[in-house]
Amino acid sequence: MNKNNGIQNAEPVENVPVSGKIWLSAADCLCGMLNGLLTGGGMTYFFTKFMGLGEELASVVWIIFAIWNAFNDPLFGYISDRTKSKLGRRIPYIRYGSLFYALIFVLTWVRWPFGGSQTALFIQMLSTLFLFDTFYTAIATSLYVMPYTMAVTNKARSSIFVWKIGFSLISMAVPLVVFPLIKPEVGTDPTRFQLIMTGIGVVSFLVIFGSTFFYKEKVQDESAEQMGILRSVVECFKNRAFVVFEILSFTVIFIQTILMQGVIYYFDEFNTPMPLAYGALGLGAVGGIVLWIMMLRPWGVRKCVTVMCVAFAAAAAAMCAVGQFTPVALVVFLLTGVGFAGGMYLVPIMNGDVIDYDELKTGARREGIYAGVNSLITKPAISLANAAFVMIAKWFGYNTELQAGMQSATAKHGILVAWMAIPAVLLIISAIGMKFYPLHGKGWDDQKASLARRHER
């Protein structure tokens, strides 16, 4: 009898095919890579530095775009939770949205036939950003929640996250490394740059589209309860764990965006060797993944995130103050890699706990609306990061008409401040916020075990 009870109460064994994990991770990687190339500073740099759009108008584009995202992402999350199709709730958006997503990415780097006036460039940048992000929302949100629908147990989900983390290093590295190397300089022919970006777009489409034939959703409809959209959003914010999570999520997205943008300007004006800097960044990322996997069980999510935020904040402050010195910069790149690894590994685990806690409270499984509301918070972080960087740099006298390496000493210091000052502050706020994160300790472990038994039944 005891033996049978032990078997009955054991966590169910789930086997997600390795091919499904790899293809999902590759699709997620390339989807994020296109977004990183475009919204992570590439679009702002291309339109202001190369195309000649004024910084003020570029900032207005990002502010208007942030308002649109207040409606776009939660609405799609709500709709996707209720989508009914033979392919599932998420896969149709990934498969059929991939072509338009890649096409808009390619067209971003070509001057449209409206001309080169400030009005024409403003319209092109705004239109491109709106269209690109609409399809990004449909695809990225679906890819983001797929691990929660491909598997039920945390063990199976964790095996998917490990693959996603590995591929995420590629989606991080390409915008950081490739764009500074291929970006067109003022007054040069952009054809080579445009061909490379076209190739990246085509390959991304083929992988994202093809990936949908290698994984499937295990859970089609996890709850019979149908909340209205307003109640769905309100229930998210009644979840205190989610509110704390959003502070961290906003911080991580803001930092990822402004770091990718700032690094383009940093290597233009400072003599830190790019191979050494990116080597330190990669070493920190790999070491960070190992560190957080090892320390998650003894420390728990809350302590791991707190330590990550404090160390990352110290590195950002050091770069802001004395980042012109190569030894300091290399240490900062190393710790930045550790911080990025924490963002890739710890944030999804926190998100899973937040969704599990919501299910315990409401009885509904609502990955889509949580992903949508999370985007409502984090997408403005992308806009604010882009707008803040160019405006702060301009306050310090940065001149977009100068060739690389020709900025004044004050403008160079302004790049460091625009790059690292706000991230340092946000990381400290996140560390303080984690003190109020309720999902930790034995009580939460018992609740998770209860939820696992519910899923088993």
Tell me what the mean pLDDT of segment 383-408 comes to: 86
Q: Which residue has the higher pLDDT, 66 or 92?
A: 92
Percent of the chain at pLDDT above 90? 37
Give the largest CA-CA distance in the chain.
Answer: 80
Is the confidence at residue 224, as pLDDT, over 50?
A: no
Residue-level pLDDT at 155: 66
Report whether pLDDT(282) > 90.
Answer: no
* Higher per-residue confidence, 98 vs 15: 98
DSSP string for 213-249: TS---S-S---S----HHHHHHHHHT-HHHHHHHHHH
pLDDT of residue 80 exceeding 80: no
pLDDT digit string, tens, across residues 338-357:
998 888 888 888 888 898 88
Spatial separation of the C-alpha atoms in residues 391 and 400, rounded to whole Å: 12
Nearest CA-CA partner of 162 in 290, 253, 17, 298: 290
pLDDT tens digits for range 316-326 = 999 999 989 99
pLDDT digit string, tens, across residues 379-391: 778 878 888 898 8
Per-residue pLDDT of 27-72, as tens digits, reads 999 999 999 888 877 888 889 888 888 888 988 888 888 777 767 7
**With 70 as the cut, is the pLDDT of residue 9 above it?**
no
Please report the pLDDT score of residue 233 as a whole number: 82
How much is the pTM? 0.70
Contacts of 238 (CB under 8 A, 6+ apart): none
DSSP 8-state secondary structure symbol assigned to residue 184: P
Distance of CA 327 to the CA centre of its chain: 28
Compute how many other C-beta atoms are within 10 angstroms of the C-beta atom of residue 311. 17
Mean pLDDT of 139-147: 86
> pLDDT-derived band of residue 370, with 50, 70 and 90 as boundaries?
confident
Q: How far apart are CA 139 and CA 198, in angstroms?
A: 19
pLDDT tops 60 at residue 78:
yes
Between residues 229 and 250, the one the model is more confident about: 250
What percent of the chain stands above pLDDT 70? 92
pLDDT the model gives residue 153: 63
C-alpha 74/C-alpha 69 separation (Å) is 9
Q: Which of 1-10, 178-187, 268-277: highest mean pLDDT?
A: 268-277
Spelled out in words, what is the top-level CATH class assigned to the domain 18-217+225-456?
mainly alpha
Nearest to 278 by CA among 356, 192, 180, 185: 180
Q: Are 55 and 391 in contact (CB under 8 A)?
A: yes
Q: Which residue has the higher pLDDT, 44 or 152?
A: 44
Q: Each residue of 274-286: b (16+ CB within 10 Å) or e?
A: eeebbebbbebbe
Q: Which two tokens stand for residue 278?
A: 């990116």
Residue 403 has pLDDT above 90, yes or no: no
Residue 5 has pLDDT above 60, yes or no: no
**What is the Cα–Cα distance from 295 to 110, expressed in whole angstroms?**
47
- Asked which of 63-67, 68-72, 249-253, 397-401 is least confident by mean pLDDT, the reply is 68-72
